[in-house]
Amino acid sequence: MSLLQRLEMRQGQALVMTPQLLQAIKLLQLSQLDLAAYVDAELERNPLLERIEAEGAPEREASEAPADGEYDGGDGAEPESWLASDMTPSRSEIEGDLDTRLDNVFADENPVPREAGSGDMLSLTPAPYGNTGGSFDGELPDFESTLTAETSLREHLAAQLDLATQSPSDRLIGSFLIDAVDDAGYLREDIDGVAERLGASLDDVARVLKLVQSFDPPGVAARDLAECLAIQLREQDRFDPAMQALVSRLDLVAKRDFPALRRLCGVDDEDLVEMLAEIRRLDPKPGRAFGAHAVEVLIPDVFVRPAPDGSWLVELNSEALPRVLVNQTYYARVSKGAVADGDKAFLSECLQTANWLTRSLEQRARTILKVATEIVRQQDAFFLHGVAHLRPLNLKTVAEAIGMHESTVSRVTSNKSIGTSRGTLEMKYFFTAAIPGAAGTAAHSSEAVRHRIKQLVDAEASDVLSDDALVQRLRDEGVDIARRTVAKYRESLRIPSSIDRRRAKMASAAR
């Protein structure tokens, strides 16, 4: 067998992923915020791109503004020459209106200023807002500059640390511990690791940790929930042996195993109820009151509303779409002055990129609208009757209906939402697994079955339904479902087991 080197020419077809194509695919799966950031970056980078402002009459340029003293009412009336008249009152008129003399002031006050060469005429021009001294540039301060920043949990703890100790080493350890406290107020670093990283002794780290745990809010810098509750109870002087035993077994509290708690704490039913009520009044997340992030409102990409003929109107949210255009006039003007080859190449690249971006944004909007329209058509019963009528749906069904690839539909539905009369829902919400129907009936959506389980549990009276009972109820309604699936859906809804629900009902009845 001989090994030879030779050249061969072959002809074939292959899909070439150009950078523009890769970026177009990336634009499909971007959320509104990510897309806005991407467009803003392109606007800064590309001088030929221009943002389309909101609809409405443009503001008048400074050159079009009326001259001083010119009437701009538009009704043809002759303007009054009120600017030429002297509107400044005399000193005697002011003293008559105020029923006092203007020089009747305290000795430490400044006299009323007079304008130079005005005789008895006073300068009544008000001082600029906020100008307490120094120069004034004629502009009022921005509204944002007058707002106070919200104090974060770290800043709140650091300020207390500065007052609590003067030792440089303790401040170093305390700052490290404060940095390791999360937004909920819990310490997420092991003190052994902290001591090793800082080169400090374990006793010093533990001592400074106790100091930080004494700061406000109560319970901060705790390492677990039991320690957080214990710190708050110590501050209230309620951490007696019975309460200490109760806090040490929070797993029994979660299970509502009241007989075991009574034996453990050595108290009767009345004392146990009071102790549990005290536990509920404590804050399990002491850090959430500081530096909370602003809630971001989910803005829908598509709106769905009923049409007069009973169908559904699907339209894009124009406020959520970035609108840009290519400034061809500016390109023509600049390209005439371009002499160097590098300038011409740069302008050509900018024009190509700008045209590609505008086309990609239009194609993205059309694709989103097309996919959303098909989703609404497939889930028509949901929009009419609610979650119980949600149909099983997958990406392949939508892709085949609109003639697109399944991966394209997956990208379009990522990070997108639909605004409906039942709230704003993510597009992925409408894609649910199918649960077969009993006796050959139609399949059911997993989300609809989950909703039905919640309805059955909420409707419980004295009898608590076990998972087996829920399975039987659902099979009577035509849903062929396994017990483990019911248990999985119940846990996803954060519904306790039948034993825990029965204990909770017994405790409520005892109270």
Query: What Cα–Cα distance (Å) separates residue 330 from each residue in 50, 344, 357, 378?
Result: 10, 14, 17, 47
Tokens of 385: 């009757």
pLDDT at position 455 over 80: yes
Q: How many Å apart are CA 479 and CA 475, to the nearest integer?
A: 5
Q: Give the contacts of 325 (CB within 8 A, at least 6 positions apart).
A: 49, 50, 52, 358
- Whether the per-residue pLDDT at 233 is higher than 80: the answer is yes
State pLDDT tens for residues 248-267.
Answer: 999 888 888 888 998 999 99
DSSP conformational letter for 471: H
**Helices 406-413 & 341-378 angle (0-180, nearest 10):** 90
Instruction: Kindly indicate the confidence band of residue 490, based on its pLDDT and cuts at 50, 70 and 90.
Output: very high
Residue with tokens 């002499």: 339
Give residue 116's pLDDT.
43
- Of 7-16, 154-163, 358-367, 472-481, the one with minimum mean pLDDT is 7-16
CA dist 415 to 27, 106, 201, 404, 453, Å?
11, 68, 48, 19, 28
Query: CA torsion angle for 462, 467, 471, 474 (degrees, to 10)?
Result: 50
Compare 385 and 82 and report the one with higher pLDDT.
Answer: 385
pLDDT at 258: 85
Query: pLDDT by residue (tens digit) across 286-318?
Result: 988 886 555 667 889 999 999 998 889 999 998
Q: Would you call 379 exposed, middle or buried from its count of C-beta atoms within 10 A (0-12, 13-18, 19+)?
A: buried
Give kind and range of the element (H or E) at residue 166: none
| pLDDT value for 133 | 44
Quickly state the pLDDT bin for 13 (edges 50, 70, 90): confident
The chain-wide mean pLDDT, for the chain, equals 81
Question: What is the pLDDT at residue 102?
Answer: 63
Confidence of residue 115 (pLDDT cuts 50, 70, 90): very low
pLDDT of residue 130: 42
Distance CA 207, CA 200 (A): 11
Q: Dump pLDDT digits (tens) for 332-343.
A: 888 887 778 888
> Per-residue pLDDT for 270 more than 80?
yes
Amino acid occupying residue 432: T
Token pair, residue 190, equals 């092991």
Distance CA 503, CA 73 (A): 77
Query: Once rounded to an integer, what is the mean pLDDT over residues 103-109?
Result: 55
- Angle between the 341-378 and 395-402 helix axes, to the nearest 10 degrees? 110
Q: Where are the alpha helices (DSSP H) in 303-340?
A: 328-337
Single-letter residue type at 71: Y
